[in-house]
Amino acid sequence: MSGETHLDFTAKADGHEAAVPGNPAFNQIVLHRINKKQVEVTEKKDGAVVATLSSKLSIDGNELAITTVSRGHADQTTVWARSGGVKSPKDPLAGEWTTDLSKTRLRQGLVLKIEADGSSGVRFSGDFTYTARFDGKQYDLKNSRNDTVILQLVDPHTVDAIYSRDNQVTQKDRWAVSADRQQMALTTTGTLETGQHLTEKLMFKRQ
């Protein structure tokens, strides 16, 4: 949660308390999922209830109304408008993809698997693997000549991946999924270890 302040915590919507460290207003939180579009949040300070927030998502997924109830204050409702990100849990990038050999010069297909990780990020596995969020932060790579990756969500169908090695950007990928979610284009620009610049485009099809 980021705004005027930044909070970093993990809580399950199971009605049990979870710790919120480093926050002066409340240090415990309880999440209760009412349905797919409504969640009730109880904020506590050393076991005492500080505030109760009822969050409701609009039918089209573009507005979030949060009503805050706290002792000694009038009830307050704030409406938030979505400004970006994927509003459907069915992330268009998620799935298994293989190279469309009819649209590439490769003779052997590559297989990619992209899964939503449940925390606004993805788990990527191909010839290397990583788990990362779309937050502009660096995440470690496994089995790669690069060290880290940064993911940026351009729009619900387009993602930029920026790879670095020894704190130097070495490669930039853009993943673009078609409107019908059946094809994905990968455009890669980078610099090889020899110093040679490379630009390549591959087409993938959903399995």
Asked if 68 and 131 sit in the same domain, the reply is no
Domain membership flag for residue 127:
yes
Asked if 99 and 38 sit in the same domain, the reply is no
Given a contact cutoff of 8 angstroms between Cβ atoms, the answer to whether 16 and 42 are in contact is no
Encoded tokens for 183 = 């094809």
Domain membership flag for residue 1:
no
> So what's the pLDDT on residue 106?
57
How distant, in Å, are the alpha carbons of 170, 183, 190, 197 from that of 194? 12, 32, 11, 9
Domain membership flag for residue 150:
yes
Asked if 69 and 101 sit in the same domain, the reply is no
Q: What CATH number is attached to the domain comprising 198?
A: 2.40.128.20
Asked if 110 and 165 sit in the same domain, the reply is yes
How distant, in Å, are the alpha carbons of 18, 87, 158 from that of 29? 5, 25, 34
Q: Could you say which of 25, 47, 81 is where a domain stops?
A: 81
The residue range of the domain holding 45 is: 14-81
If one counts every other C-beta atom within 10 angstroms of the C-beta of residue 20, the result is: 20
Looking at the whole model, is its pTM more than 0.75?
A: no
> So what's the pLDDT on residue 44?
94
Asked if 111 and 51 sit in the same domain, the reply is no
Asked if 167 and 99 sit in the same domain, the reply is yes
Asked if 69 and 146 sit in the same domain, the reply is no
Asked if 120 and 65 sit in the same domain, the reply is no
pLDDT along the chain (207 residues), means of 10: 69 87 88 88 93 88 87 87 54 82 66 78 89 90 92 87 92 90 89 78 88
Domain membership flag for residue 140:
yes
Asked if 175 and 124 sit in the same domain, the reply is yes
Domain membership flag for residue 6:
no
> So what's the pLDDT on residue 160?
92
Could you give the number of structural domains in the chain?
A: 2
* 79 strand-pairing partners: 65
Encoded tokens for 171 = 């490669």
CB environment 5-17: b (16+ within 10 A), e (fewer): eeeeeeeeeeeee
Domain membership flag for residue 5:
no
Domain membership flag for residue 161:
yes
DSSP state of 175: E
Asked if 115 and 193 sit in the same domain, the reply is yes
Cα 101 → chain centroid:
30
Asked if 198 and 103 sit in the same domain, the reply is yes
Domain membership flag for residue 8:
no
Q: Which of 107, 149, 160 is nearest to 125 (CA)?
A: 149
Asked if 135 and 165 sit in the same domain, the reply is yes
